[in-house]
Amino acid sequence: MFKIFKQLLPLFVVQFFTWLGLFSLWIYATPVVTRYIFKTTDGESVAFENGTTWVGICFAFYSLLAALLAFWLPKLLHYITKEKLHAAALFAGGIGLSLFYFITNQYLLLLSFTFIGIAWSSISTIPYSIISSLAPSHKMPTYFAVFNFSVVIPQITAAFLLSYLNKAFFSGETVLVILSGGISMFIASIVMFVLPIKKIDYT
């Protein structure tokens, strides 16, 4: 088990920063969009309702885009390694999250979610493909059991860390939380690009 964890450590680091970025989006997208794009913090206002609806549309948009791109990713793997492709997709995700800080028009927000959709398409497929290529058949369940911690750990961390950052460092400016999520995604991209994940010889 320790040998597997050591082997997957680079991927764990990638996953940690990836999911911190994702949770910054999932937790703070609604307050950011309603406050900074629809210019309201009044939960009873029509503008707030419109902002919330637009967030739902944007989430549906990036999910649909990611599903469509998932059929295209295998073709790209003929020209680029899984690791490099995932690094590029995470970099796109970093761009998408960072754009939240600059965009003030609801329709331009779709550009941000286009980049996020590219990242999500890879996040939901490539890491699992990497695991499948690393693990021998008799070790596959163990590999995936260990890999599951790479989602659970950042989820627990995000629940405390993002709220702390928002209060202690960002003075309630929630858009800065998503911007920090973009930076986190950039870090994940760099780590994915430079750190190799070597296959273990069990023979």
More confident residue, 148 or 57: 57
Q: Answer whether residue 196 shows pLDDT above 90.
A: no
| Structure-block tokens of residue 133 | 């290529």
| pLDDT tens, position by position, 80-94 | 999 999 999 999 999
C-alpha distances out from residue 180 to 29, 65, 95, 170, Å: 13, 24, 11, 10
| 40, two tokens | 């309201």
- Domain membership of residue 19 (yes or no) is yes
What does the pLDDT average to over 159-178? Answer: 94
Model confidence band, residue 201 (pLDDT cutoffs 50, 70, 90)? low
- Is residue 141 situated within a structural domain? yes
Q: Give per-residue pLDDT as tens, 18-65.
A: 999 999 999 999 999 999 999 999 999 999 999 999 999 999 999 999
Q: What whole-number distance in Å separates Cα of residue 197 and Cα of residue 167?
A: 37
Q: What is the pLDDT of residue 197?
A: 73
Q: In this structure, is residue 201 part of a structural domain? A: no
Residue, of 161 and 137, whose pLDDT is higher: 161
pLDDT of residue 5: 72
In eight-state DSSP terms, residue 139 is G
How far are the Cα atoms of 37, 81, 83, 134, 198 from residue 130, in angstroms, in the given order?
A: 38, 10, 8, 6, 11
* Residue 61 located in a structural domain: yes
Structure tokens of 29?
């997208």
In a domain, 88, yes or no: yes
Give residue 200's pLDDT.
Answer: 65
Evaluate whether residue 68 is within a structural domain: yes
Closest of 203, 153, 188, 200 to residue 4, by C-alpha: 200
User: What domain range is 23 assigned to?
Assistant: 2-194
Q: Give the count of domains, the chain.
A: 1
- The number of angstroms, rounded, from the C-alpha of 194 to the middle of its chain's C-alpha atoms is 18
DSSP, res 198: P
For position 95, which CATH number holds?
A: 1.20.1250.20
Q: Is residue 101 one of the residues assigned to a domain?
A: yes
**pLDDT higher than threshold 80 for residue 4:** no
Q: Could you tell me if residue 160 is inside a domain?
A: yes
DSSP track, 80-133 = S-HHHHHHHHHHHHHHHHHGGGT--STTTHHHHHHHHHHHHHHHTTHHHHHHHH
pLDDT of 157 above 80: yes
